[in-house]
Structure 1
Amino acid sequence: MYLETTKEQANSIILLTEIDCKIIGIVSINSSPKSRFKHVGEFGIVIAQQYCGLGLGRKLLDYLIAWANANGTTKKISLLTSENNYTAMELYKKVGFQVEGILKKDNYVNGVYGDTIMMGLIL
């Protein structure tokens, strides 16, 4: 049902990346249907560990930015990432994302509280 709802929205998209019928990555932009927020897309990406560092994330991100620019609604892409996700943050900055805020002690991993970094890209 979630996939069908997303498919019906002109300002939301989910893409799967496959190799030999095995999903190796998922990337998405989800936007609110509310007129007040529908111009902002929330970006998400997951790539299987063995395929990280090969440029797949950059290709998917470039595709989604082009899609967002062309959909007629999206004016900003936002994302959240862990403060320790240095490789991802470097990629996001390369394509124009800027840090917009820090959520202190917002996540808890392996017994340690960490900060969440909020980033945004104005299209």
Structure 2
Amino acid sequence: MIIRPLEKRDLQYIYRQENARRVMALWFEEPYTSFDELEILYDKHVLDQSQRRFVIDIDGQFAGVVELMYIDYLHRNTEIQIIVDSKFQGQGLAQEALSKGVEYAFKVLNMHKVYLYVDVDNAAAVHIYKKLGFTEEGRLRNHFFAEGCYHDSFVMGYLIDEYTAKQKRG
């Protein structure tokens, strides 16, 4: 498995993901994007330094995306997001791809903190994030609306010092 930059040729897969209600509910977003809109957004953001989008690539197959969003070079923090395509779930890819995204944030972008939001009821994701080194920093009550109701969300963070200490431990 590798992560590589998102290319225009990958938009067909992003289109499929962004129009799947179940998938977009995990990101607390509306499942409604036209292909034309995706192309416009791609062209608009291809040179945007406040985000990085990576494809999870398994032997040339699109297996999902890892995104670093809202990259803040002053405060040196960024939000990380991940979606693994349903046919590749259950293979440990989320943890491996997320680990590579975190490594990129700390070692390439020189971030001090990587954070994420996760539905408090998504125990599998919370488990993966904690295993990687993320810590629950707080709970946002009724913060996101998805699938017809409001959801509480954990804010989880990972600091460079914690990452470095974990790397030294092996």
Give yes or no for TM over 0.5: yes
Shift of 1:20: 7.4
CA distance in 1, matches of 2:53, 2:147: 30
Shift of 1:69: 2.5
Unaligned segments of structure 1, at least 5 residues: none
Shift of 1:19: 5.2
Residue aligning to 2:72:
32
Moved more, 57-66 or 103-112: 103-112
Structure 1 residues 51 and 100 mapped into 2: Cα distance closer, same or farther (>3 Å)? same
**1:5 maps to amino acid:** D
Q: Superposition RMSD on alpha carbons, in Å?
A: 2.0
Shift of 1:94: 0.4
CA distance in 2, matches of 1:42, 1:53: 24
CA distance in 2, matches of 1:89, 1:3: 30
Residue aligning to 1:117:
154
**2:111 maps to amino acid:** T
TM-score normalised over the length of structure 2 = 0.61
CA distance in 1, matches of 2:108, 2:87: 32
Q: After the TM superposition, which segments of 4 or more aligned residues of structure 1 sit over 4 Å from their partners?
A: 19-22
Residue aligning to 2:130:
93
Cα deviations by residue, 1:32-60 (Å, 9 ceiling, x for unpaired): 24x2x3x1011011111221111111111
Structure number, greater radius of gyration: 2
Query: Aligned pairs, how many?
Result: 116
Cα deviations by residue, 1:75-114 (Å, 9 ceiling, x for unpaired): 1101011112111110000011011111101123333322
Point out the structure with the larger helix share: 2
Residue aligning to 1:66:
103
Shift of 1:73: 2.2
Point out the structure with the larger strand share: 1
Residue aligning to 1:2:
45
Percent identity over paired residues: 24
TM-score normalised over the length of structure 1 = 0.81
Unaligned segments of structure 2, at least 5 residues: 1-43, 161-170
